[in-house]
Structure 1
Amino acid sequence: MDTDDLKQFLSQLFPPSSFTPYLSHPSLTPALYFCAFNILWTYVAGEITGNFSQVDRVWTFLPVIYTAWFTLWPVWNGEELRTRGVLMLALQITWMLRLSYNTFRRGLFSLSDEDYRWPIFRASQHWLLIKVFHFGFIAVTQNFLLLGIGLPAYWTLFDPPSPLQTSDSILSVLALLLLLLEFTADNQQYAYQSFKHSSGKPGAIRWPGARQAWTEADKRRGFVSRGLWAWSRHPNFACEQLFWFVQNLFPLLGSPTARPLLPSTIPYPLTPILPSLCLSLLFVASTAYTESITLSRYPEAYKAYQARVGKFSPGYTVMKWFWLGVTGKRERVERLVWGEAEEGEAKKQR
């Protein structure tokens, strides 16, 4: 595929005409100014303090602020609220409460705390690359992404007020289910990390959805591999990405304005879900870096975990189970991922 073919393919996926609605509403300009303000202060604060988690501290709030701005715009301008926007805002507030709770208990709301990956990154890279990365990726890219995932509510401003549809009910149930699974995954991870860093005896930490009886063998392994984490190496990240895809689908499936954008030179141009696609690219890159750190700390066990459990999809985990059985490697891999803990627990019971 040459350059011209690639340009044609991308223009089919993201038709230029389908970007027009994103640029034509007066509510967008204040949101862009607010985004620029957030880029500026998070970058300056990070440079002054040497702490790169400034965006992390406001990640839990900014998407909801953008969504609330677009949702309430009609009220501030004497128009009728869009019910679909209100529903999306309510779901995002639920998302915010879950993430804020998890961020609080991990200590990231503390001005002195920082994501454990940033010191490792700074220690391994040239100072100039660190400066460029801090501004270009952490401050600029992440803040634009936070604005982008608030754009589904912006789409609703191009529709006349209308009642909710069946698609809205289905997507609401799906969004709540994803939040419940993500909350469960967070609790399992936090329960494991709490046990791992404690000096207490092995046992169960009673967090909701995280009632595994952790053992010393689990602690030695170094990472959680039970519960939802036995089906996905990052179940919380998988649910997070899917939640924002569902948010994009609200206006895409229920909006009479968005639907005419669907037929194009290919069946389904992807412009309406572009923000979620960009968010997924961020998660893929971030997850790869996170796993490289874990792999360096626990090379044998984590390599086995990667061979046995899919990165995001439980379906891929089933495929790995089948393939390891065919190749005769399943027993050894599962012993590294779960067997040592099971043997430790058996000895304890005896």
Structure 2
Amino acid sequence: MDFWHALTHDAPMFVWPVKFGVAMTAATYVLSILTNNVSQVDRVWTFLPTIYTIYYAFLPLWPSVPPTYLFPYTPDAIPANLRETFSPRTLLMASLVVTWMFRLSYNTWRRGLFSLTDEDYRWAVLRQKMSPFLFQVFNLFFIAIAQNIILFLLGLPAARAAAQPHTPLSTSDHILGTLGFLVILTEFVSDNQQYSFQTFKHSGKLNSNEWPGARIQWTKHDAERGFVTRGLWAWSRHPNFLCEQSFWIIITLIPLLSPDSPKLDFPPTSLASLTPLLPCLVLCSLFFSSTIFTESISKAKYPVAYSAYQERVAMFLPVLTPVWGALLGIQGRKGSVDSMVYGDGPNSKGKGKAE
């Protein structure tokens, strides 16, 4: 009760988002138990940051009293200027996040991940490595609770922007907004290249109707290798993850770099001074740890070829890939590694053979 009293009186902007987040946490956890499928949070990942962002962007639209349970509302305790006028900066952020949502929803839909029976392959691998009891503890505290907290945090930049003076967009808004849309476009291309490759790998046929940027002439050797190494994936092992992290860094920075934002301590003088960066810092930490786990699975399937890929191509930053190539050249190994990664060189045997 003390927490709720403090939330209602000291931070009324967060009353409805917290209620909604708690409800979503409970719903996704219960569904994961009933369906024996822990990907329920994955299915709402594409929508929840958008819902939180839109809530803050459209505060003047919501009623002061909710007509039904969990319907968004704007408490009277919220300052009048936030309830009566729209923030151009928050509307910009909402347009970016909605565009992000459509991209991710489309990619999730075509991969079949909206089906209640489909589960992310990584959870199946992790389930095999843990006892049933420990996996359910992990399901409750990390998959259900922690991930819903992260999704709630991704809406906080919009809340910060909404709380700022509702002034016209500044130069930083235009620059970051443009970068945000470009990052979404780049991630869309990387998604399409991965989907095109996986389609070819499993069907053995090229699709002439691929999206621009994904019309790559895949070969038999690409399929045998088992994982994509062409297009954007020739420069970054995870261009989609790089773009995802970059997007939320941009969203976090939009209100922080605006002329209406209090100046940040730089360099940070304490952990508290990093609080405004919490949404992107937490997300990047999640993606880094998730990428390590994902690569361990890939390396187990393709031990020789994927090890070569890790040596040749940077995990995230494309600018490092030429550096890795130069280092391999000094060692006299660049030709053989390039052959395995990009060409038709020897692939791994046994486990490394494409399935």
- Range of TM-score over shorter length: 0.7 to 0.9
Q: 2:283 aligns with which of 266, 273, 279?
A: 279
Is 1:175 the counterpart of 2:180? The answer is: yes
Partner amino acid for 2:110?
R
Equivalent pairs counted in the alignment come to 321
Is 1:218 the counterpart of 2:236? The answer is: no
What is the alpha-carbon distance in structure 2 between the residues aligned to residue 136 and residue 315 of structure 1?
A: 37
Moved >4 Å (runs of 4+): 202-205
Which structure has the highest helix share of the two?
Answer: 1
Secondary structure at the residue paired with 1:213? coil
Report if the CA contact (8 A) 2:221-2:343 is conserved. Answer: no
**Correspondences of 1:223-302 after superposition (within 5 Å):** 223-256=227-260, 258-262=261-265, 266=269, 269-302=273-306
Is 1:39 the counterpart of 2:39? The answer is: no
What is the alpha-carbon distance in structure 1 between the residues aligned to residue 283 and residue 85 of structure 2?
A: 31
Is 1:191 the counterpart of 2:177? The answer is: no
What is the alpha-carbon distance in structure 1 between the residues aligned to residue 110 and residue 232 of structure 2?
A: 20
Is 1:111 the counterpart of 2:97? The answer is: no
Partner amino acid for 1:184?
V
What's the offset of the Cα at 1:161?
1.5
In the alignment, what sits opposite 1:59? Answer: 45
Q: 2:13 aligns with which of 27, 52, 63?
A: 27
The Cα offsets for residues 200-221 of structure 1, whole Å up to 9 and x where unpaired, read as 3x67662321011011111000
What's the offset of the Cα at 1:267?
10
Q: Percent identity?
A: 48
What's the offset of the Cα at 1:237?
0.3
Q: 1:308 aligns with which of 307, 312, 331?
A: 312
Report if the CA contact (8 A) 2:194-2:228 is conserved. Answer: yes
What is the alpha-carbon distance in structure 2 between the residues aligned to residue 120 and residue 283 of structure 1?
A: 17
Secondary structure at the residue paired with 1:39? helix
In the alignment, what sits opposite 1:121? Answer: 126
What is the alpha-carbon distance in structure 2 between the residues aligned to residue 333 and residue 98 of structure 1?
A: 34
Measured at CA, do residues 204 and 324 of structure 1 come closer, stay the same or move farther in structure 2, by a change above 3 Å? farther
Partner amino acid for 2:58?
L
In the alignment, what sits opposite 1:17? Answer: none
Report if the CA contact (8 A) 2:236-2:317 is conserved. Answer: yes
What's the offset of the Cα at 1:157?
2.8
Q: Greater relative contact order: 1 or 2 (C-alpha under 8 angstroms, separation 6 or more)?
A: 1
Partner amino acid for 1:297?
K
Structure 1: 5+ residue runs without aligned partners? 1-19, 343-350
What is the alpha-carbon distance in structure 2 between the residues aligned to residue 265 and residue 103 of structure 1?
A: 38
Secondary structure at the residue paired with 2:12? coil
Secondary structure at the residue paired with 1:340? coil
What's the offset of the Cα at 1:272?
1.1
Is 1:206 the counterpart of 2:206? The answer is: no
Report if the CA contact (8 A) 1:205-1:213 is conserved. Answer: no
Report if the CA contact (8 A) 1:203-1:215 is conserved. Answer: no
Q: 1:334 aligns with which of 338, 346, 353?
A: 338
What is the alpha-carbon distance in structure 2 between the residues aligned to residue 46 and residue 166 of structure 1?
A: 45
Q: TM-score, normalised by structure 1?
A: 0.87
Report if the CA contact (8 A) 1:205-1:212 is conserved. Answer: no
The Cα offsets for residues 240-284 of structure 1, whole Å up to 9 and x where unpaired, read as 00000000111001152x323436864994221111110011101
What is the alpha-carbon distance in structure 2 between the residues aligned to residue 281 and residue 138 of structure 1?
A: 15
Q: TM-score, normalised by structure 2?
A: 0.86
Structure 2: 5+ residue runs without aligned partners? 1-5, 63-73, 75-82, 347-355
